[in-house]
């Protein structure tokens, strides 16, 4: 049989050359603690910038409504509806000014796809005789 294929009969024969044998009589695990502290340490190749607090503009607003939706826009050239994004639609009211706006961000990337003030002059109408389509 090839010498590389011979399996050791015990795990004690698997010691690394130059490493001291563990003391059989003591239960002191100090060697393991030193290995954890002096373990391998790698410096990052590219340093990361400090974490930046991102302000969304929603900090001073109260959420009045939130629901998941799909937003479409009408392309006049091709005369068809094109998807603008899927995400959470929120109606937000500013704490000090009292202004209300509709905000929609795309899922995962959180890019704004709709941001409109809601005023008293706006009317919500049913479009094209369908129950699910609404427009201003």
DSSP the chain: --GGGPPPSSGGGGPPTTPPPPPSS----HHHHHHHHTS-----SSPPPPP-PPP-S-TTEEEEEEEEEEEEEEETTTTEEEEEEEEEEEEEEETTT--EEEEEEETTT--EEEEEEE-TT---EE-TT-SS-EE-
Say how far apart CA 65 and CA 92 lie, in whole Å.
7
Q: What confidence category does residue 123 fall into, taking pLDDT thresholds of 50, 70 and 90?
A: confident
What per-residue confidence (pLDDT) applies to 95? 94
Residue 30: alpha-carbon gap to chain centroid:
40
Phi/psi of residue 22, nearest 5 degrees? -70, 145
CB 87 within 8 A of CB 112: no
Say how far apart CA 43 and CA 77 lie, in whole Å.
55
User: Is the per-residue pLDDT at 23 higher than 70?
Assistant: no
Q: Which two tokens stand for residue 108?
A: 């995962």
Say how far apart CA 37 and CA 30 lie, in whole Å.
11
Q: Which two tokens stand for residue 8?
A: 């050791």
Per the prediction, the chain carries an average pLDDT of: 79
pLDDT in tens, 48-107: 889 888 888 889 999 999 999 999 988 999 989 899 999 999 999 999 999 999 999 999
């Amino acid at each position: 049989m090839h010498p590389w294929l011979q399996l050791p009969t015990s795990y004690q024969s698997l010691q690394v050359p130059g490493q001291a044998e563990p003391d059989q009589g003591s239960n002191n695990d100090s060697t393991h603690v030193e290995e954890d502290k002096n373990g391998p340490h790698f410096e990052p190749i590219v340093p990361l910038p400090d974490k930046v607090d991102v302000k969304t503009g929603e900090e001073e607003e109260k959420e009045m409504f939130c629901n998941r939706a799909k937003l479409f826009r009408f392309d006049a050239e091709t005369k068809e509806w094109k998807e603008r994004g899927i995400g959470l639609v929120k109606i937000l009211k500013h704490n000090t000014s009292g202004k209300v706006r509709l905000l929609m961000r795309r899922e995962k990337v959180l890019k704004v796809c709709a941001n409109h003030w809601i005023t008293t002059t706006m009317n919500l109408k049913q479009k094209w005789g369908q129950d699910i389509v609404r427009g201003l």
